[in-house]
């Protein structure tokens, strides 16, 4: 069972993002939240009655991959635009507004993709006031709005799109053909905020404190008087989820730290020391290293490895849950809930949401066994990493925990290409520790989203060390920069830092004789190799 998205506190305006199948519908919601206005996502087939019952402060119609002319194109209940709710259309949502309200959308044969020069047609626009008359925006469309609906002002155009933005302040409607939510649109966030504040009349009052308040209430309502366990992985996600649930239910929560042998160097010690000191949570440590190694023996397929790790985690938890009850002397009780630090990008990549491809199973989403004995508590499932960090700081967690580089639930098991063995884990642990130490020494921890070190366990390369021939393993450095893990680019780490990392690894880890650098963006590559 998955927990619902957090709901806004009473009196906080909620903007509903109507999703027409765009992968970035959640990014739109995130940008709205960055403007300190609460937002949630609803499907495009929501009825006017259902939507009005939510009493939204405003609507944002997302983009989408379809053409408005396609037979099976996502549609919007026309009555929604007659409900008196301020509405902002983006790309496909802009075209839906145009056709529904009496404008014209045509296939002109000219598409616009990527960076495009936008020209304002008036200096009096509410959407664009105070912004340059010419600016770069990010386009991705084949169909084009050629005529705005009656009583709408055309406020921007491009060389090939005569209606690139329109507004009707009196009706509290506006829309743009470009994507203001992406970083490549120079003033996109400002345009979105002009709609929220000046057309929709939303107040910027939503904060991470609201998230905590609402999630604490939701967790208490879901868990009641039952007991819960939370798996600590050493990463920020599970730490923040645990701290949030502990705030809600206190001693009903026991954190279980499974030392599965797939951790980074010093990870177990930091969890036992720093997290417990910061939260006072009850912690049970389970040594399951040999169990995981035995289960992974002979397995090279990455999807199978993820599923095995997820399955073994749950089995360990089931046993730990029984021990938690026994330790508490609560005869007859059971642990009903499992707390997980699932984030929205995990859900997307695991096939969550309408029309989303299953890119890979996540240990805490698609890797769970069918016969799971717990109900899930996932208080972070609608948040991005930066929001999770903000919640962690608000909860008083140490910065060393909050600002740790993301680490996958399956640990180093998915950073070894090929079979996972004890020897390979020791090799990778040593190389990873060197890379992390040098990035920290260079002051790059907050400039780089994360830097997985990947051991090519099934590959060997010839080298020369100490005037002798070697036949060792290569490792790959994967430094990436990202805002939310939905997209990423490889980080331009200074050459001298890369040189120090390479020199130390090849000098200090005898089994490694070659260090490579992964310069692939996401897409097409995922951040982790497996």
| Residues designated as active site | 91, 179, 181
Q: What is the DSSP letter of 329?
A: T
| CB neighbour list of residue 267: distance below 8 Å, 6 or more residues apart | 234
- Residue 472 CA to residue 423 CA, distance in Å, equals 13
- Distance from the Cα of residue 294 to its chain's centroid: 32
DSSP for 441-498 reads: HTT-TTT-SB--EEE-TT--EEEEETTEEEEEEEEEE--EE-SSSSSBEE----HHHH
| CB neighbour list of residue 381: distance below 8 Å, 6 or more residues apart | 2, 3, 5, 342, 343, 344, 347
Nearest in space to 408 (alpha carbons), one of 450, 352, 358: 450
- Residue 98 CA to residue 274 CA, distance in Å, equals 55
Please calculate the CA angle 505-510-513 and round it to the nearest 5 degrees: 65
What is the rounded end-to-end Cα distance, in angstroms, of the chain?
Answer: 26
Which residues are registered as beta bridge partners of 229?
254, 338
- Tally Cβ neighbours within 10 Å of residue 199: 21
Find the length of the chain. 530
Residue 42, token pair as written in the block: 């609803």
Residue 5, token pair as written in the block: 């998205």
Nearest in space to 74 (alpha carbons), one of 106, 98, 44: 44
Q: What are phi and psi of 291, to 5 degrees?
A: -60, -45
Cβ atoms of residues 455 and 475 within 8 Å: yes
For residue 401, give the H/E element and its range. helix 399-402
Peptide bond between residue 153 and the one before it cis (omega within 30 degrees of 0): no
- 111: burial class by Cβ within 10 Å (0-12, 13-18, 19+)? middle
Contacts 24+ apart (CB under 8 A), 438-445: 438/497, 438/500, 438/501, 438/504, 439/479, 439/493, 439/497, 439/501, 442/494, 442/497, 444/491, 444/493, 444/497, 445/403, 445/405
Q: What is the DSSP letter of 152?
A: P
Alpha helices for 104-263 (secondary structure H): 188-194, 208-223, 236-249
Instruction: Report the sign of the C-alpha dihedral through residues 403, 406, 410, 413, in that order.
Output: negative
């Amino acid at each position: 069972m998955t927990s619902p998205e957090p709901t806004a506190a009473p009196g906080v305006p909620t903007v509903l993002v109507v999703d027409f199948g765009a992968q970035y519908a959640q990014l739109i919601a995130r940008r709205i939240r960055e403007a300190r206005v609460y937002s949630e996502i609803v499907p495009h087939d929501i009825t006017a009655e259902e939507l009005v019952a939510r009493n939204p402060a405003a609507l944002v119609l997302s983009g989408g991959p379809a053409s408005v002319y396609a037979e099976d194109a996502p549609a919007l209940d026309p009555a929604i635009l007659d409900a008196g709710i301020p509405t902002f259309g983006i790309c496909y949502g802009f075209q839906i507004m145009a056709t529904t309200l009496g404008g014209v959308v045509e296939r002109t044969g000219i598409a616009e993709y990527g960076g495009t020069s936008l020209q304002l047609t008036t200096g009096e626009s509410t959407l664009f006031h105070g912004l340059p008359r010419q600016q770069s925006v990010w386009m991705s469309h084949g169909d084009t709005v050629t005529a705005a609906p009656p009583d709408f002002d055309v406020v921007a155009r491009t060389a090939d799109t005569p209606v690139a933005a329109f507004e009707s302040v009196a009706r509290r409607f506006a829309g743009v053909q470009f994507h203001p939510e992406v970083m490549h649109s120079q003033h996109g966030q400002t345009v979105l905020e002009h709609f929220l504040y000046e057309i929709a009349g939303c107040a910027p009052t939503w904060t991470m404190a609201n998230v905590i308040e609402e999630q604490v209430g939701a967790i208490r309502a879901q868990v009641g008087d039952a007991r819960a366990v939370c798996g600590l992985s050493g990463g920020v996600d599970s730490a923040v989820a645990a701290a949030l649930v502990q705030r809600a239910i206190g001693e009903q929560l026991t954190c279980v730290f499974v030392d599965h042998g797939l951790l980074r160097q010093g990870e177990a010690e930091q969890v036992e020391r720093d997290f417990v000191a910061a939260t006072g949570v009850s912690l049970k440590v389970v040594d399951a290293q040999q169990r995981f190694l035995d289960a992974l023996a002979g397995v090279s397929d990455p999807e199978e490895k993820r599923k095995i790790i997820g399955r073994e985690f749950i089995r360990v938890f089931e046993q730990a849950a029984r021990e938690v009850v026994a330790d508490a002397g609560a005869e007859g009780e059971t642990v009903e809930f499992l707390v997980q630090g699932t984030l929205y990008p995990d859900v997307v990549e695991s096939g969550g949401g309408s029309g989303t491809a299953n890119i890979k199973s996540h240990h805490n989403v698609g890797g769970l066994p069918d016969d799971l004995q717990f109900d899930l508590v996932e208080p972070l499932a609608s948040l991005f990493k930066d929001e999770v960090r903000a919640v962690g700081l608000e909860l008083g967690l140490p910065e060393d925990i909050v600002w740790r580089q993301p680490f996958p639930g399956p640990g180093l098991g998915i950073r070894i290409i090929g079979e996972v063995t004890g020897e390979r884990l020791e090799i990778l642990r040593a190389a990873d520790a060197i890379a992390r130490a040098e990035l920290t020494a260079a002051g790059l921890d907050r400039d780089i989203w994360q830097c997985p070190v990947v051991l090519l366990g099934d590959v060997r390369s010839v080298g020369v060390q100490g005037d002798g021939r070697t036949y060792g393993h290569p490792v790959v450095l994967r430094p990436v920069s990202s805002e939310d893990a939905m997209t990423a680019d490889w980080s331009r780490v200074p050459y001298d830092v890369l040189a120090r990392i390479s020199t130390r690894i090849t000098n200090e880890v005898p089994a490694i004789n070659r260090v490579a650098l992964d310069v692939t963006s996401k897409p097409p590559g995922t951040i982790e190799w497996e």
